[in-house]
Amino acid sequence: MIGIKRSHELILLLFFIGLIIIMSLLAPSFLTIDNLLSVTQQMSEFGILALGVTVIIITSGIDLSVGSIAGLTTIVIAMSYGWSGSLVAAILLGILAGALCGAFNGVLIAKIGVPPILVTLGTMTFFNGIALVLSKGNAISDLPEEFYFVGQGYLFGNIPVQTVIFLVLAILTSLLLSKTPWGRRVYAVGNNSVAAVFSGVQVDKVLLYVYIFAGIMAAISGWIISSRVSTARADLGAVYVMQSIAATVLGGTNIAGGSGTIFGTVIGVSVFAVLANGLNLIGVSPFAQNLLMGLALIVVLLINNMSIIKRKIAIFIKLNFN
């Protein structure tokens, strides 16, 4: 299993390097420092969402509500600042709101036993509805200047703040999964939840914390998006939901659960960011970009699963032509 996982990551990494070479040939400005830093800026927002999604998919779950949690977080932060006048308190309340949304998902899934796709399909609309009610469907822009630092600021001259946040969170998440008992339990639940129970793993507790973690990641992502666009709006995170899931699967995380790495997810996120940036520089229309990005996803997934495809073709030939 480890060998297969590493081979998937290696294939994706080679594809990513090839993509960079192609984009640099087609668009000479692609390999400039400013543009590459811009790529990291673009990938950070949905990359942070993907960190939470990765942990959930490893447990064989799914979360369609992370975009709505991100949007709700932006509204909570903006309204809390209006009530309290404290930006720190407002941001903490926003992250707490994300954690509570994740806990709500986790209780329905872990304690009551409702399938994750049904729960999060419902809460996707529910959380978005809360945000719309609180904001009355309006965007909120009355935020202090310092709020915009995480989305528009730079460290050490030209390194985007959100890039640093993404890298730190990616490293911490990777360490959580690979170096802690909780991380081992996450993989155990995804491999076989029944066997995990007999091994003494409290599956419901693991799942609850997994969804809380994803809610916190969604809240941080929403905070950064809101800071970048200088406004809070209920739908701010919606565009990144499918991208974060696709990048996670592209990175080698098994949709059936039990395997996956944060390194793979980061490469998957990077592929999407490089494709979007490079196609923009070349002048490809947004409609064609979606087509090409979908095609790239299909190609990499087919390559990653080539051994399975070959085996099924061989079985088909044996059954029908022998």
Mean per-residue pLDDT, 117-127: 95
**Extended strands (E) in 159-305:** 159-160
| Helix, strand, or coil (residue 200) | coil
Among 96, 122, 119, 123, residue whose Cα is nearest residue 108: 119
User: Longest Cα pair distance anywhere in the chain, in angstroms?
Assistant: 77
CA distance 155 to 59: 36
Instruction: Count the Cβ atoms, other than its own, within 10 Å of residue 124.
Output: 20
- The CA distances from residue 222 to 30, 48, 195, 231, in Å, are 28, 10, 36, 11
Residue 101 has pLDDT above 80, yes or no: yes
123-170: per-residue pLDDT in tens? Answer: 999 999 999 999 988 998 888 889 999 999 999 888 999 999 999 999
Band the pLDDT of 2: cuts 50, 70, 90.
very low
Strand partners, 28: none
* DSSP assignment letter at 107: I
306 or 198, which is more confident: 198
Distance between CA atoms of 69 and 4, rounded to whole angstroms? 34
CA nearest neighbour of 274 among 54, 46, 35, 51: 35
Q: Note the pLDDT of residue 233.
A: 92
Per-residue pLDDT, 185: 94
Q: Which of 101-115, 262-276, 281-295 has the lowest mean pLDDT?
A: 281-295
What per-residue confidence (pLDDT) applies to 118?
95
Cα 299 to Cα 281: distance, rounded to the nearest angstrom: 23
Per residue in 24-78, pLDDT (tens digit) is: 998 888 888 888 888 888 899 889 999 999 999 999 999 999 999 999 999 999 9
Residues 269 and 248: their CA atoms lie apart, in Å, by 8
CB 56 within 8 A of CB 254: no
Instruction: Give me the percent of the chain exceeding a pLDDT of 90.
Output: 53
Average pLDDT over residues 272-301: 81
Q: Is the pLDDT of residue 3 over 50?
A: no
DSSP label of 155: E
The encoded tokens of residue 86 equal: 């404290």
Quote the pLDDT of residue 283. 84
